[in-house]
Structure 1
Amino acid sequence: MVDISVVIPCRNAAPTLGRQLDALLAQESPAEFEIVVADNGSTDGTVALAHSYADPRIRVVDAGRRPGVNVGRNVGVEASRGRFILLTDGDDIVHDGWLEAHYRAFAGGADAVGGGLDRILEDGTILVKSRQLFPSLYRRNLFANGTNCGFTREAFDRIGGFDEEFMGGADEVDFYWRLADAGYRLTFVEGAVVSKVQHAEPHNAFTQHLNYGKGEARLIGKFRPSYLRVVVACVSLQSFIWGLAWAAGIARRRTLRIFAFNLGLLSESARLIAMRPPRQRLARLVQRIFLPRD
Structure 2
Amino acid sequence: MLSRFFSSNKKSKNNSSNNDLNTIDQSLDISIIISCRNEINTLKKTIDSILNSKNVLSFEIIIVDDGSTDNSCSFVYTNDNYKNIKLIFSKNIGVAAARNLGTKSSKGKYLFFCDAHISVPDYWLDSMVRTLKESNGDAVIPAIKNMETEDRGYGGTWNTNLEFIWLGKPDSSYAEIPLAPGCILGIKKDIFETIGGFDNHLKLYGVEDQEFSLKLWLFGYKILIDTSIEVNHLFKIYDSYKITYSDLIYNYLCLAYLHFDYNNLVKILELFKSKPNFNIAFTNLMLNEDLLKQRKKYFIKRKFDENYFFKKFNIHF
Picking from 140, 143, 157, the partner of 1:134 is 157
Residue of structure 2 in register with 1:234 after alignment: 271
Residue 29 of structure 1: how far off its partner (Å): 1.6
User: Over residues 248-283 of structure 1, what are the superposed CA-to-partner deviations in whole Å (9 max), with x where a residue is unaligned?
Assistant: xxxxxxxxxxxxxxx47x45664367659xx99xxx
Match of 1:142, SS?
Answer: coil
Picking from 69, 74, 99, the partner of 1:43 is 69
Residue of structure 1 in register with 2:100 after alignment: 74
Residue 103 of structure 1: how far off its partner (Å): 2.4
**Does residue 115 in structure 1 map to residue 151 in structure 2?**
no
Residue of structure 1 in register with 2:254 after alignment: 218
Taking the aligned partners of 1:38 and 1:29, their CA distance within structure 2 comes to 23
User: Over residues 180-213 of structure 1, what are the superposed CA-to-partner deviations in whole Å (9 max), with x where a residue is unaligned?
Assistant: 2332221211123332322436x99x96887554
Matching residue's letter, 2:233: K
Matching residue's letter, 2:143: G
- 1:160-179 equivalences under 5 Å are 160-166=196-202, 167-179=204-216
Unaligned runs of 5+ in 1: 240-262, 281-294
Aligned residues of 1:229 and 1:273 also touching (Cα < 8 A) = no
Residue of structure 2 in register with 1:186 after alignment: 223
Picking from 186, 190, 200, the partner of 2:237 is 200
**Does residue 143 in structure 1 map to residue 161 in structure 2?**
no
- The structure 1 segments of at least 4 consecutive aligned residues displaced by more than 6 Å after TM superposition are 206-210
Taking the aligned partners of 1:50 and 1:56, their CA distance within structure 2 comes to 5
Larger Rg belongs to? 1
Q: Give the 3 Å change call, closer, same or farther, for CA 94–216 of structure 1 in structure 2.
A: farther
Q: Give the 3 Å change call, closer, same or farther, for CA 41–268 of structure 1 in structure 2.
A: same
Provide the identity percentage.
22
Residue 53 of structure 1: how far off its partner (Å): 4.3
TM-score, reference length from structure 2: 0.66
Residue 165 of structure 1: how far off its partner (Å): 1.8
Picking from 62, 87, 102, the partner of 2:113 is 87
Unaligned runs of 5+ in 2: 1-26, 165-176, 293-317
Residue of structure 2 in register with 1:243 after alignment: none
Aligned residues of 1:63 and 1:76 also touching (Cα < 8 A) = no
Taking the aligned partners of 1:86 and 1:178, their CA distance within structure 2 comes to 17
Residue of structure 1 in register with 2:40 after alignment: 14
Taking the aligned partners of 2:53 and 2:244, their CA distance within structure 1 comes to 30
Matching residue's letter, 1:161: G
Residue of structure 2 in register with 1:125 after alignment: 149
Residue of structure 2 in register with 1:247 after alignment: none
Picking from 242, 259, 271, the partner of 2:283 is 271
Residue 173 of structure 1: how far off its partner (Å): 2.0
Residue 3 of structure 1: how far off its partner (Å): 1.0
TM-score, reference length from structure 1: 0.70
Residue 39 of structure 1: how far off its partner (Å): 1.6
Residue 217 of structure 1: how far off its partner (Å): 2.0
Aligned residues of 1:5 and 1:85 also touching (Cα < 8 A) = yes
Structure number with the higher helix fraction is 1
